[in-house]
Structure 1
Amino acid sequence: MLILPILVLPVIHGFLLENNHSVVGQTKPSSPYLNISAFLDEKNRLQQATERIAQNTVQFRHDMDTNLAVLSSQLLQKFNVLEQKLGEVKQLNETQKELAFIQHNHVTLEQKYNRLINSYEQLKRENDLLHVEFQLIKNVSISTSKELSDLKHLGAIQPLQDISNIQQSVQYLLSQTQTVSMTEQVRGTFSKVQHVFLVGVGGSVPDYEDASKHVRLGDIVISLPSQERSCLYVHGQKIDHTLRTDEYKFNVKHWACADDTLQKVVEKIKNITDSSPDPERPLDIYLEEASERLKAEESSFHRPFINTDRLYYTNPDGTVVEVQHPSGDRNYIEGRTNVRFGAISNGMNIAKDGKLRKTFARLYGIKAYDLDTDAILESLDGNRNESFLIIREIADYTDGSRKEWQPYSAMAAAAYMKTLIMAL
């Protein structure tokens, strides 16, 4: 049993080392596993390769783990950045929504602001109109107060009953809202009043060419009907302006007297003055008397200097230029109060527009404009008063509201009224 392996091993060894051919004489392919030395070398080589592969595998796994860790960290960072970006985008979307909401509110507030601006502008215009009306009423109030003061100082004017009636009528100008009640007061106090004088200041309608028709500051206009028209006072209630043709249409109301007693007295005085080459007018005498009596008053009733009477003309293009007063009136004496005759009109809606006031004056024969006389005339109609006369002393070239000439104008108007009363 022990001999057999020993005998067999040499055979096997010899077979493995030397017998490289088959039985039939063919060469068998060599095999690395047939050579022990080569086998061992190959085995060692494979072991080394395996170890290297194992080492490389370990290193690869380590590198892979490292790379995976780095990649995971980078991915995590990118995810964090992406999440942050998404948060920012979400916040941006919310901000854009808020911005859109704010913009919508801004548009709404801007619209409200524009509406408020428009309302403010409208209220401002209305306030300006009210301010103008207030100033007009204030000017009339000041004017009438001075007229009342003047009338009180002209105590020699008779009859006293007519003067009291004038005081009541002048007070009437302070407010149209008191017209009805004031009329009843006058009617109840002076039930037998026959003639009414409406005395005050007004604005001239100048004539730029004919000196005999020209009305200057300090002149007096008496409401006397012309040959063409019988009216004494005209009120333009409504004015329509056609822009295409630049034409005006007027809806007017006018007043005339059924009793022309006062107008006849005016005509009588006028004829006496015209027939005498150099008459001594009662008007000048009464003016001088009034001036002497009023010297001690705080207000100055002297006639302003002639150089303050400046005349202006409005050209068709709207420009305003100063012009000379027309000359050639042989009866004109510088510094003397002249008396002109014609209709008078309410200038509330007309007098401030140069072109309009000239057109209206030409159509209705207007010589002067004033304020609010129509309210008193309405009350006279209601009381069936058939005799009245309007006396307007010229204080400016609009409606009589300028103050410089008002004191002298009030005194001159009162002096002419005294002339008429004395001639009755």
Structure 2
Amino acid sequence: MSEWQDWVTRLDSAADADVDDVIDELAAQILASPPDPSATAVAMRALASAKSDLSVHSAAIALAYTASADDVEAVESLERAFEARRRHAFLAPSLLGTLSLLGLRNAAARVGVTRYLLRLRTEDPRPLLMAGLKAIGLLCDRENEPALRIKLFALAGSDDIAVRAEARQQIAMLKLADALLADSHAGLIASLASAKAAFEVAGESEEVRPDASLFRLMIDAVLQFDGIEFNREAAAVRVGHLVSELREMGGRRAEQIFRMDRSPAASQIAHRCEVVASALEAAAKEVANAARWTNFDRSVVRLAECYSEVRYRSAALPGYERTGQTIAGVADQVVKLRLGPVLARKVGRESFEEVIRHYEAGESLPEVLSGLQELQRVALEVERSGTHSLSEEAIGNIKALAAAAGCTPEEMIRRFSVTIEQNDEDRLAAYAKLLPSPPGKRSMKMPLPTIGIIVALPEEFDAMRAMISNENRYRAPGSGGGREYLLGDILSVRQGIHQVVIAQTMDMGNTSAASRASKMLMDFDELDAIIMCGIAGGVPNPADPQEHVRLGDVVISNRKGVVQYDFGKQKGRVFEERHAPRPPSARLLEAVQMLEQDKLSGQRPWDAHLRNGLAARSLTIPNPSTDVLLDAKSGHVEHPAVAEARPRVFLGPIASANVVQGDFRKRDQLRDQHKVKAVEMEGYGVADATWEFEKAGYLVVRGICDYCDVRTKHLQTDAWKRYAAMAAAAYVRALIEAMPGTQRNG
């Protein structure tokens, strides 16, 4: 906050001649940083103070970039700027486009820009209409807006050639988006044919319309691949013709086909034509021997990728190049939702085809290969028929496979569906029961993970790993990091079994933890709880023995959850905390309550798990001489004596921030103000992620490795880290064991 406050001072003190320079520098700083809602106030002030057109443009972009999803004031500021410049040839289109981009994630902005778009008339200036048409396309792609679609068709009747062409292009793009939502193969083919016709109309609306031409050619390629099973040679010839057309179009110079602002993706598409043509050419060479649906699937997937790139990538939005991070986030939320059930299945089958190819290329078991191929063929038969009725031959083969696996045919298909995207050769085959389970691995039906566990350090990961059985590595589909998981079992003492999934964050801190939790929730649909497990700094209270936390003890977040003490507002020298309450999972808190009840009768199951975990890793309890607590004058403080066995278990609020806390004064302040029992760096990120997804709860379990005191950290953190991590992991295992698990079916 202080960083942006300095910019307010610079704006207020700048001379009139220097204001725009300060604003341009500020906008560059905002756009170069991660989106920070605390910069919204200074961005609004910059927009109100800007004098030149370019500075107004820069300030508006910065404001749309940094404003939060529920910021109404930012929306009102952009609306005022647009109203004041509605007839401006440059700024009116720019501000309308900026407002529409914010409308992709801000409901108030969406309402405002929709109001302006519905007021557009064919006699409005061309630049404003062009910007409005692109905005309508973006917003209708985000949600179905009948009124905006009607407006789009109305503007398609404009006498202005460029406006009419842009409107028709947006109509074609929406038809393509609708096709990707088809719920059947026949529906997909029919919708793609309709989209192709729309792109043909758009392409004929202007002398040069390369974006429409590219999509027409790509859809044509998709449809040709669909016909390969009927006449492969003819389809291969047609694909070759398409390649020639693409190369001819891509060979033109980008500046020759880029006409003003008529085709925003034209230059980008021109450069991609050769790449697309080469890919199609390679596919055409394989047509004679390849499985029909494999090429069709891949062509549909590539078409969807091209659609998302043109629609959402910043390169397709001239003037918004620096909003890439925001647009990428929107694309993840929008495009994935729009890929529809058919496309999702195709991606899964493409992944499964990779598995089969690995088996064919390697020295894998013949019976496994034939089993996988049969499952593949049956799945294709089901989809192509649009029903679940199979041929007698397929039913007989599936029954034979199911009998060998000791399960029903329905269960065989279910296992195939569950594991189709795992793309892990022998492991996938073992899951589908085509391959015998290795010794010690699960040999019965297993549910999908319902409990996720996130750690931040390798020592924490290893401790949690020591608490599970039947472990398996798994990488979720998707690019980038944060996709590796460890799956394992924890048996319930109340019958049944829990399958858990463990993941380590890419880095320390709440931001990384929130990202990891979000990916975990997206990768595992059945998760209903995430536990953040690991080490933390303890908050001692020697004046109250019953509340005195020591090294090696375990702290669990209570109903007050996690306190994010670095989130708030700086008022002069006073920092006002503004963390939002995020109560933990009621189900997990109830399990904690049961363990607390059992503890009163001397039952402490985590003690045995801790002993076994330490023994498995050849660890021992650290030297008690390192458990040093200092007062404000660096004098030693005696730990009060308590009768309870150690490690003790505490319930209470846990403080969280993106800083390693080493100030004992701040520690004690947090204790006195919030009653916290521990201080850590990831809990609030997990709490926030689960709250935003709404489908899962959370809990934070921490083992204490130091006292948040830089004077003693060198004695304690490294010495107690592994023991504290094991203590927390042992409690997590006891907690999960206390809840009823999923029943196994033989």
Distance 2:734 2:536 in 1: 19
Match of residue 640, structure 2, among 296, 306, 326? 326
Distance 2:675 2:603 in 1: 29
Distance 1:217 1:182 in 2: 28
CA displacement, residues 284-315 of structure 1 (integer Å, 9 cap, x when unaligned) = 111122122222xxxxx32102121011111x
User: After superposition, where does 1:106-117 map in structure 2 within 5 Å?
Assistant: none
Deviation of 1:363 after TM superposition, in Å, equals: 1.5
Deviation of 1:376 after TM superposition, in Å, equals: 2.4
Change (3 A) 1:181 1:143: closer
| Matched AA of 1:368 | A
Distance 1:240 1:349 in 2: 17
Pair 1:263 & 2:589 matched:
yes
| Matched AA of 2:728 | A
Distance 1:154 1:174 in 2: 23
Pair 1:311 & 2:629 matched:
yes
Deviation of 1:417 after TM superposition, in Å, equals: 0.4
Tell me which residue corresponds to 1:235: 564
Contact 2:660 2:680 in 1 (8 A): no
Distance 2:591 2:551 in 1: 24
| Matched AA of 1:422 | E
Change (3 A) 1:178 1:161: farther
Deviation of 1:416 after TM superposition, in Å, equals: 0.3
User: After superposition, where does 1:178-193 map in structure 2 within 5 Å?
Assistant: 182-193=516-527
Match of residue 150, structure 1, among 451, 457, 463? 463
Taking only aligned residues, the RMSD between alpha carbons, in angstroms, comes to 2.9
Contact 2:584 2:699 in 1 (8 A): no
Deviation of 1:149 after TM superposition, in Å, equals: 1.9
Tell me which residue corresponds to 1:163: 500
| Matched AA of 2:732 | M
Match of residue 202, structure 1, among 523, 536, 554? 536
Q: Percent identity?
A: 23
Deviation of 1:370 after TM superposition, in Å, equals: 0.5
The DSSP-based 3-state class of the residue aligned with 2:463 is helix
CA displacement, residues 67-97 of structure 1 (integer Å, 9 cap, x when unaligned) = xxxxxxxxxxxxxxxxxxxxxxxxxxxxxxx
Tell me which residue corresponds to 1:402: 717
Distance 1:173 1:291 in 2: 26
Deviation of 1:382 after TM superposition, in Å, equals: 2.3
The DSSP-based 3-state class of the residue aligned with 1:369 is strand
Structure number with the bigger relative contact order (C-alpha 8 A, sep ≥ 6) is 1
Change (3 A) 1:233 1:413: same
Q: Which one is further off, 214-223 or 361-370?
A: 361-370
Tell me which residue corresponds to 2:686: 376
Following TM superposition, where does structure 1 have runs of at least 4 consecutive aligned residues deviating by more than 6 angstroms?
Answer: none
Contact 1:238 1:252 in 2 (8 A): yes
Distance 1:413 1:258 in 2: 17
Change (3 A) 1:311 1:305: same
Distance 1:280 1:158 in 2: 19
Tell me which residue corresponds to 1:392: 702
Question: Which runs of 5 or more structure 1 residues have no equivalent in the other structure?
Answer: 1-140, 226-230, 296-300
Distance 1:178 1:202 in 2: 17
Q: Which one is further off, 387-396 or 148-157?
A: 148-157
Change (3 A) 1:340 1:359: same
Tell me which residue corresponds to 2:744: none
Structure with the largest fraction of strand: 1
Distance 1:326 1:273 in 2: 21
Tell me which residue corresponds to 1:355: 665
Deviation of 1:353 after TM superposition, in Å, equals: 2.5
Question: Which runs of 5 or more structure 2 residues have no equivalent in the other structure?
Answer: 1-453, 470-488, 492-496, 740-746
The DSSP-based 3-state class of the residue aligned with 1:212 is helix
Change (3 A) 1:183 1:197: closer
Contact 1:224 1:342 in 2 (8 A): yes
| Matched AA of 2:530 | V
Change (3 A) 1:374 1:352: same
Change (3 A) 1:382 1:310: same
Max radius of gyration: which structure?
1
CA displacement, residues 367-420 of structure 1 (integer Å, 9 cap, x when unaligned) = 100013222222222221442111010000018992210101111111000100
Deviation of 1:251 after TM superposition, in Å, equals: 1.2
User: After superposition, where does 1:93-104 map in structure 2 within 5 Å?
Assistant: none
Deviation of 1:142 after TM superposition, in Å, equals: 10
Distance 1:351 1:396 in 2: 10
Tell me which residue corresponds to 1:114: none
| Matched AA of 1:321 | G
| Matched AA of 2:671 | A
Deviation of 1:143 after TM superposition, in Å, equals: 6.0
- TM-score normalised to the size of structure 1? 0.54
